[in-house]
Structures are given as C-alpha cells and as structure tokens.
Amino acid sequence: MTAEPIPERRLEGRPTSERRRQTRDVFVEFRDVKKSYGSKQVLRGVNLKVFRGEVMVILGGSGSGKSVTLRHMLGLEAPDSGRVIVEDEDITDLPEEELYRVRKKFGMLFQSAALFDSMTVFENVAFPLREHTEMAGQELDRVVQEKLELVSLPSTGQLMPVDLSGGMRKRVGLARSIVLDPKVILYDEPTTGLDPITAHKINELIIDLQTKLSVTSVVVTHDIQSAFMVGDRIAFLNQGVFEWTGTMEEARDADHPVLREFLRTSAVMAAQPTKKE
C-alpha cells in the first residue's frame, strides 16, 4: 500500500481526543435504529454513540443516509424501530411539544445554508431569538453582533443574502445555528460546493467554535480533507449501518476494505493538481 496523502489534524489549542474519550459521557446515542422510505430501507440497524465534547465525523456515500441520521437526532424523523437517546433522555416517542425543548440543544447548519432571502443578514441571525426568546432591543443587537463576530462577519448585518458569496452564506447560516447557544452543532456538508480556500476557512471555524463554545459537533461530509482536519472520530455509514467507527488515527490503518477505498479515492482526488496556481 502506498502512503495516502491524508492531511494532518490541527491539534493546537484542542483537548486531545484521548482525554475526551476518557469521560465516555454519551451525548447522543442510536440503538438499533431502522428507517425505511417506501420499500427502500435506508437505516438498517444503526448503532452510534457521540461523546460529549468531541467532533464526530459521519462519512458515507451519496444517499447512504447521513442527512437522515442527523434528522433523527433532532427528532425531525422518528425511527420505524430502535431508540434515539439525547443526554440520557429517550426522545424516540416524545410528542412534538417536548421535541421542541430537545431541539433547542442543537444548532443545525443545513446542507444548503437555508437563509431567508428576503431578510437581512442581521434578521436571519436574529430569527431564532425572536422565535424562541423574549430578547429584544440592545440585548438582541449585542447577541447577534457577537455571533457574527464569531464567524468573522462583523459588519455584514445590513447585507441581503443575495449579496453574499457561498462561503459567507455558510457562515451566516452558522451564526444563526449557534445564536441560541446550543450544546451540539450538527453540520450537514459544511464545505460542499466551496472552493478549497473557503472550505479551509470553514474548517478552521468549526475548530474555533468547538474550542470557544465547548460544544459537541457532528459533521457530515464526503470531504476527506475536512474530516481529518476537524474530526476526533469517524463513523462510516455503509449499507445502512455504521460499519466502522474509530479515531482519525485508527482510520488511517483501518482494515475495512470499503472505508479504505473511500479514504484512498477521496484523498487521491483531493491531491490532484489543479490548473489554478
């Protein structure tokens, strides 16, 4: 086997995954979760533990069920069978009004950023505060400004989404997803569709937020560079189950043939020279 050009993780300023794993405090757990749409069985008995404080990367091919898995964490989908546990609470059968409370623990960056195009950046970020809190006036201004600064967009409040680049849209989406101070941030393909430099900035932002906000993060991606830069552990979704779970270090030597192929192909693709110089 040739050495694969998998990037090094950026470790400075971060607690080691070793230290995190010692706590073994499970934030989200899936127990034998099954989910079908029509005749198509997407999740075939998913087991997963996300530990408090870690960055868990979910890898898997297109249509393997990564977004579906995230939607189950939020209670936006209910499993056909199996259990979903969030902070020791079984949320599987909770009624909608209870799920509302559970969802406040999560910030979600959707695959498409999903900004409201008719609202300014400020109003987009303020939206969850207006919906879920009594906050108004100067306090609201301060919190929105603080979140925009966290994503390095301090003076964009009055812009409209149409004025923003793809990377900026993601960052505004991220500011909105953290405005209620979630305990967990879910990222669905945070770097897809971005050029490599912008993607790198988003990865740095994920790491910064992890450190500054002390959150737990789940990052869904096919971007192997991104996975190795931000992740503590990988869970590899294939054929409806997490066929392999382990640390980034273990992933390099994993003897799972499909995961190896997935890492190798993605890394080789990412290492291809581009015409841009």
Ligand X SMILES: Nc1ncnc2c1ncn2[C@@H]1O[C@H](COP(=O)(O)OP(=O)(O)OP(=O)(O)O)[C@@H](O)[C@H]1O
Interface residues with Mg ion (CB under 5 A) are 67
**68 near ligand X, judged by CB under 6 A:** yes
Site stretch for ligand X (CB under 6 A), options 65-73, 80-88, 120-128, 137-145:
65-73
- C-alpha distances (whole Å) from 9 to each of 146, 198, 208, 262, 271 are 28, 18, 14, 18, 16
Q: How many residues bind ligand X (CB under 6 A)?
A: 10
- Exactly one of 16, 19, 22, 63 binds ligand X (CB under 6 A); which one? 63
Among 20, 29, 50, 66, binds ligand X (CB under 6 A): 66
- In the block, tokens 């010692």 appear at 22
Of these partners, ligand X, Mg ion, none, which one is at the site of residue 65 (CB under 5 to 8 Å by kind)?
Answer: ligand X
Q: Which does 64 bind (CB under 5 to 8 A by kind): Mg ion, ligand X, none?
A: ligand X
Sheet holding 89-90, edge to edge: 40-51, 26-37, 81-86, 89-90
Among 1, 3, 8, 62, binds ligand X (CB under 6 A): 62
Largest CA distance in the chain: 61
- The torsion of the CA quartet 70, 71, 74, 78, rounded to 10 degrees, works out to -130
Beta strands in 38-176, from DSSP E residues, in sequence order:
40-51, 55-60, 81-86, 89-90, 106-109
Residue 46 in the binding site for ligand X (CB under 6 A): no
Partners of residue 108 on adjacent β-strands: 186
Minimum CB–partner distance for residue 66 and Mg ion (Å): 5
Question: Shortest approach of ligand X to residue 266 CB, angstroms?
Answer: 13
Interface residues with ligand X (CB under 6 A)?
A: 37, 42, 60, 62-68
